Amino acid sequence: MLGSQLCLLVLLGAVVPTLQQRDQWSSLDHSNDYNYVRHDEEVQKTFCSWDCLKFTLQWPGAFCTYLNEKAKCVIQPEINTWTIHGLWPQKAYNCCGCWHLFPSDLEVLDEELSQEWPSFVKSKSYFQFWKMEWLKHGVCAACVEGLNSPIKYFSLCLKLRQQFNITRTLSEGNVVPSCDRPYKLAELEEVLTPLIGEHHEIQCIKDKQDRELWFQVKIPLSRNLTLGCPQPNPTAERGPPPAGHPCPSQTPIYLVPIDHENPRKPCG
């Protein structure tokens, strides 16, 4: 008890002078404050200038094929449908490492997130996945009203997941997982476009047998969350080139079943 009080005092001792110094310093020289404000505005402008979001859903059946071979892939038994990969402001990444995320921040959403936003990488816990998405993309989204906290950001993603229930739309359009019945890109687009607009991206990955597996779909949203995007520009993304690619229009596309036992080889 005494030890922890001492420790607290030491910590306080370390913090208090810094605050005082800062106060004294800024009261002496207001021009520096002005510089800080201007700097903040510049940072805001860079980080907040995005005008397009991509809401990305992944298909567990093929996602393990997309993952690096070295990563052990696990799909928990209760995961049987499309799941969330992320909500990504375009051309804005890692805007600030300063907004730490703790499990308690997402406690009330934990159950729903575990169902709708699982990680398939065995070495990465669900929370680690959410935290990575928050730090990489969420903090950039957070300059918009309504997205400016973890709980708002993750709640919105869950809401979008309900709004864009592509599982239902696909099954209503008779697009069902199968190892034998491939689809044409045009068939998939015809079924999806009424729900997610024409500027969506359907992404594939090639398996070892050279089949095109559909593993991901990106839904473009404006800043105000209306469907579509002022400047659809799918090629201008930064970061390492993704292993996936747009599903080809002339090749059969497979929506493979989810195989919990053998997630990397759903069709043998």
Which spans of this chain sit near ligand NAG (rule: CB under 6 A)? 161-162, 165, 167-168, 222, 224, 226, 230
Residue 228 C-beta: closest distance to ligand NAG, Å: 8
Beta bridge partner(s), residue 217: 57, 202
DSSP secondary structure of 164-196: T-HHHHHHHTT----SS--B-HHHHHHHHHHHH
Q: Give the nearer residue to ligand NAG in terms of CB position, either 104 or 162.
A: 162
Would you please indicate which residues are annotated as catalytic (active-site) residues? 85, 133, 137
Closest CA to 134 of 166, 89, 172: 89
Residue 32 C-beta: closest distance to ligand NAG, Å: 37
Residue 13 C-beta: closest distance to ligand NAG, Å: 51
Q: Give the nearer residue to ligand NAG in terms of CB position, either 33 or 172.
A: 172
Residue with tokens 């990106």: 218
Residue with tokens 């024409």: 198
- One-letter identity of residue 35: N
Q: Give the nearer residue to ligand NAG in terms of CB position, either 171 or 251.
A: 171
Are the C-beta atoms of residues 263 and 75 closer than 8 Å to each other?
Answer: yes
